[in-house]
Structures are given as C-alpha cells and as structure tokens.
Amino acid sequence: MITVPNPHKPSDQLNAIFPEFDLLTTSGYFKAVNQGVSGQHLKSVVSIIADRDIFAKVIGKDKSNLSRSYRVNKLPSLIGDSVLDTVRIYMQASDIYGSLDLAREWLSMPIPALGGELPIELIDTPAGRELVRQTLRKIEYGEYS
C-alpha cells in the first residue's frame, strides 16, 4: 500500500520556505542544514512565525539588529542549524495542535511536563529544543494531554 502524505498539514506553510526538503524528516533536516540557511529564509521564517524575539535569541542578536541578518547570503552553519531546528519545533507543534496559531499558544503556556516552564523560553538552546521536542512527541503519542 502506498501512503500519500497529507498535502495540507499545518506545517506545510513553514516547510514551503525550504521546498526541496521535508524538514520533519531526519534526512531532509540534515540536507537543509548542509545547504545552509540564507538571510531571506530567516526573514520568511520570522514573518510566518511572527516572533522576532525568539529568532533574535536563537541567532544571538539583539532583536533590533535581526533585520541585518536578512541581508546575509548564508548564515553561519551553527546558526542556520539552530534556526531550522526551531522551525521544526513550530512545525511539529502546529501539526499536533492543528494550526500555527494553536502551536504558538501552546509554546507560550506553562507546561507541567516541563516543570511549569514556557516552551518558548526553552527553544533558544539545543537542550531546550530537545526537551520541548520530547514533550511534543509524548503529547503526540498520548502520554500527556
């Protein structure tokens, strides 16, 4: 049996910024990281997610200087990786909750499984993103509600 992916997942809007890769797969994510993230990619991500603060933190810039990064041909590899990994968190949450708006709402709520922390305050570091990703997986598979 051939499975056809749902062409209208909430994460599709974000994945469309990187149309040649499926960022939710390990291989797609790896290939996107290797290709690199441009300033225009970053600008599109910030525009869709509508959170300058988190992406300024992720790339290590003051939010007033974030727009300077939009003019860069290619972000440094580690920064590009962090941007893509953060995008993946939003994609995963939007697919679980059914929309990017609901994902944003969840990311801004205290989550008991995270010790009452707000996921949005954790996703600016690799370790924090991994904690949030693990929590989302558990929600997806019914371990948490």
Distance of CA 145 to the CA centre of its chain: 21
What is residue 31's predicted lDDT score, i.e. its pLDDT?
97
User: Which is nearest to 55 in space by CA: 20, 33, 85, 76?
Assistant: 85
- Domain spans in the chain, listed from the N-terminal domain onward: 12-140
Whether 145 has a pLDDT exceeding 90, the answer reads: no
In whole angstroms, what is the distance from residue 131 CA to residue 113 CA? 9
Helix axes 39-49, 100-107, angle to 10 degrees: 80
What is residue 62's predicted lDDT score, i.e. its pLDDT?
87
How many Cβ atoms sit within 10 Å of the Cβ of residue 55?
22
Backbone dihedral angles phi then psi of residue 89, each to the nearest 5 degrees: -60, -45
Q: How far is CA 44 from CA 52, 93, 118, 133, in A?
A: 11, 19, 24, 22
Q: What amino acid is encoded at 99 in this protein?
A: S
Q: What is the pLDDT of residues 25-57, one digit of tens each?
A: 999 999 999 999 999 999 999 999 999 999 999
